[in-house]
Amino acid sequence: MSEFYDALECRDPAAREATLLAALPAQIAHAQQRAGAFAAALRGVDPEAIRSREALAKLPVVRKHELLEAQAAAREAGGDVFGGFATIGFGPAMPRVFASPGPIYEPEGRGADYWRMARAIFAAGFRRGELIHNSFSYHFVPAGSMMETGAHALGCTVFPGGTGQTEQQVQAMAQLKPAGYIGTPSFLRIILEKAAELGVALPSVKKAMFGGEAFPPSLRDWFAERGVTGYQCYATADLGLIAYETAAREGLVVDEGVIVEIVRPGTGDPVPEGEVGEVVVTTLNPDYPLIRFGTGDLSAVLPGTCPTGRTNLRIRGWMGRADQTTKVRGMFVHPSQVAEIARRFPEILRARLVVRGEMANDTMTLQVETACSGPDSLVPRVAEAIRDVTKLRGEVEVLAPGSLPNDGKVIEDARSYR
pTM: 0.86
Q: Which helix or strand (DSSP H or E) is residue 282 part of? A: strand 277-283
Q: Are residues 39 and 164 in the same domain?
A: yes
What does the pLDDT look like over 29-41, one tens digit per residue? 999 999 999 999 9
Q: Give me the percent of the chain exceeding a pLDDT of 90.
A: 82
Q: Are strands 131-134 and 326-328 parallel, antiparallel or unpaired?
A: unpaired
Determine whether 81 is exposed, middle or buried from the number of CB atoms within 10 Å of its CB (0-12, 13-18, 19+): middle
Residue 243 placed within a domain: yes
Q: pLDDT at residue 418 above 60?
A: no
Q: Taking Cα atoms as reference points, which of 49, 56, 105 lies closest to residue 82? A: 105
Q: Are residues 103 and 200 in the same domain?
A: yes
What mean pLDDT is reported for the chain?
93
Split at pLDDT 50, 70, 90, the class of 324 is: confident
What does the pLDDT look like over 264-291, one tens digit per residue? 988 899 999 999 999 999 999 999 999 9
Determine whether 166 is exposed, middle or buried from the number of CB atoms within 10 Å of its CB (0-12, 13-18, 19+): middle
- Say whether 290 sits in a helix, a strand or coil: coil
Q: Are residues 335 and 298 in the same domain?
A: no
> Which pLDDT belongs to residue 1?
37
Q: pLDDT at residue 306 above 90?
A: yes
Q: Which residues span the domain enclosing 43?
A: 13-321
Q: Are residues 296 and 391 in the same domain?
A: no
Residue 1 placed within a domain: no
Q: Across residues 389-414, what is the average pLDDT?
A: 91
Q: Are residues 368 and 350 in the same domain?
A: yes
Out of 279, 296, 321, a domain closes at 321
Say if CB 209 and CB 246 are below 8 A apart: no
Omega before 289 cis (within 30°)? Answer: no
Residue 7 placed within a domain: no
Residue 418 placed within a domain: no
> Which pLDDT belongs to residue 413?
86
> Which pLDDT belongs to residue 2?
57
Going by C-beta distance under 8 Å and a sequence separation of 6 or more, which residues neighbour residue 15?
none
Q: Are residues 266 and 305 in the same domain?
A: yes
Split at pLDDT 50, 70, 90, the class of 101 is: confident
Say if CB 42 and CB 31 are below 8 A apart: yes
> Which pLDDT belongs to residue 360?
54
Q: Are strands 314-315 and 301-302 parallel, antiparallel or unpaired?
A: antiparallel
DSSP 73: H
Q: pLDDT at residue 89 above 70?
A: yes
CA distance 219 to 235: 20
Q: Give me the percent of the chain exceeding a pLDDT of 70.
A: 97
Output the domain CATH number for residue 373: 3.30.300.30
- Say whether 31 sits in a helix, a strand or coil: helix
Q: Across residues 232-254, what is the average pLDDT?
A: 96
Q: Across residues 102-120, what is the average pLDDT?
A: 95
CA distance 275 to 35: 33
DSSP-assigned states of every residue in 125-194: T--TT-EEEE-S--SSSSHHHHHHHHHHHHT-EEEE--SS-HHHHHHHHHHH--SEEEE-HHHHHHHHHH
3-state helix, strand, coil in the chain (%, to 5): 30, 25, 45
Q: Are residues 379 and 330 in the same domain?
A: yes
What does the pLDDT look like over 152-193, one tens digit per residue? 999 999 999 999 999 999 999 999 999 999 999 999 999 999
Q: What are phi and psi of 354, to 5 degrees?
A: -110, 125
> Which pLDDT belongs to residue 417?
53
Split at pLDDT 50, 70, 90, the class of 328 is: confident
Out of 294, 321, 348, a domain closes at 321
What does the pLDDT look like over 11-20, one tens digit per residue? 999 999 999 9
> Which pLDDT belongs to residue 358?
66
Q: Are residues 262 and 332 in the same domain?
A: no
Q: Are residues 215 and 275 in the same domain?
A: yes
Out of 321, 336, 359, a domain closes at 321
Say if CB 27 and CB 284 are below 8 A apart: yes
Residue 3 placed within a domain: no
Q: Across residues 58-83, what is the average pLDDT?
A: 93
Q: Give the chain's domain count.
A: 2
Output the domain CATH number for residue 100: 3.40.50.12780
What sign does the CA torsion over 259, 314, 16, 10 have? negative
Split at pLDDT 50, 70, 90, the class of 351 is: very high
CA distance 353 to 321: 16
CA distance 308 to 4: 9
